[in-house]
Structure 1
Amino acid sequence: MKIRLVQNGIFTPVEELSLTTVPPEDGFYWIEADVEDLTELQETFGLHELAVEDTIDEEEQRPKIEIYDNHYFIVINSIRFDDEEIYLRALNVFLFKHLVITVTRQKISELRTIKPILLREQVNSADYFLYHVIDLVVDNYSHVADRIEARIEKLEEDILMHTKKSHLNEIIGLRSEILWLKKALGPQRELIWTLNKKDLKLIDGQLQKYFSDIHENAVKTAETFDTFRDLMGNLREAYQSSLSNRANEIMRVFTAMTTIFMPLTVITGIYGMNFDNIPETHMEYGYYFVLGIMLVVAVSFFWFFKKKDWI
Structure 2
Amino acid sequence: MKIRLVNNGLFTPIDDIHALQKPPIEGFYWIDADVDDLSVLQPLFTLHELAVEDCLSEEEQRPKIEIHDGHYFIVINSIRFDDEEIFLRALNIFLGRHYIITVTKQKINELRSLKPILLEEQVDRPDRFLYHLVDIVVDNYFQVGDRIEARIESLEEDILVHTKKSHLNEIIGLRSEILWLKKVLGPQKEVIATLNKKDLKLIDDQLQKYFSDIYENAVKIAETFETYRDLMANLREAYQSSLANRANEIMRVFTALTTIFMPLTFITGIYGMNFDYIPGLHTAGGSYILIGIMLFLAGGMLYYFRKKDWL
TM range (shorter): over 0.9
Within a 5 Å distance, the mapping from 1:115-154 to structure 2 comes to: 115-154=115-154
CA contact under 8 A between 1:77 and 1:89: conserved in structure 2?
yes
2:54 is the counterpart of 1:54: yes
CA contact under 8 A between 1:59 and 1:90: conserved in structure 2?
no
Letter matched to residue 41 of structure 2:
L
- What secondary structure, in the 3-state scheme, does the structure 2 residue paired with 1:50 have? helix
Letter matched to residue 198 of structure 1:
K
CA contact under 8 A between 1:60 and 1:89: conserved in structure 2?
no
* Alpha-carbon separation, structure 1, partners of 2:284 and 2:68: 109
* Alpha-carbon separation, structure 2, partners of 1:279 and 1:74: 96
* Alpha-carbon separation, structure 1, partners of 2:138 and 2:175: 21
* Alpha-carbon separation, structure 2, partners of 1:242 and 1:68: 57
* Alpha-carbon separation, structure 2, partners of 1:2 and 1:290: 93
Unaligned stretches of 5+ in structure 1? Answer: none
Deviation at 1:307, TM superposition (A): 1.5
Deviation at 1:177, TM superposition (A): 1.1
* Alpha-carbon separation, structure 2, partners of 1:191 and 1:279: 93
Unaligned stretches of 5+ in structure 2? Answer: none
* Alpha-carbon separation, structure 1, partners of 2:76 and 2:104: 11
Q: CA RMSD in A?
A: 1.2
State how many pairs are aligned: 311
* Alpha-carbon separation, structure 1, partners of 2:122 and 2:264: 88
Deviation at 1:284, TM superposition (A): 2.3
Within a 5 Å distance, the mapping from 1:15-164 to structure 2 comes to: 15-164=15-164
- What secondary structure, in the 3-state scheme, does the structure 1 residue paired with 2:81 have? strand
- Give the TM-score taking structure 2 as reference length: 0.97
* Alpha-carbon separation, structure 2, partners of 1:100 and 1:176: 35
* Alpha-carbon separation, structure 1, partners of 2:285 and 2:58: 90
Letter matched to residue 214 of structure 2:
I
Off by >4 Å, runs of 4+ in structure 1: none
* Alpha-carbon separation, structure 2, partners of 1:300 and 1:4: 87
CA shift digits 1:8-62 (9 cap, x unpaired): 1111111121122221121111111001100001121111111111111244111
- Give the TM-score taking structure 1 as reference length: 0.97
What residue number does 2:170 align with? Answer: 170
Within a 5 Å distance, the mapping from 1:218-229 to structure 2 comes to: 218-229=218-229
Within a 5 Å distance, the mapping from 1:216-255 to structure 2 comes to: 216-255=216-255
CA contact under 8 A between 1:61 and 1:75: conserved in structure 2?
yes
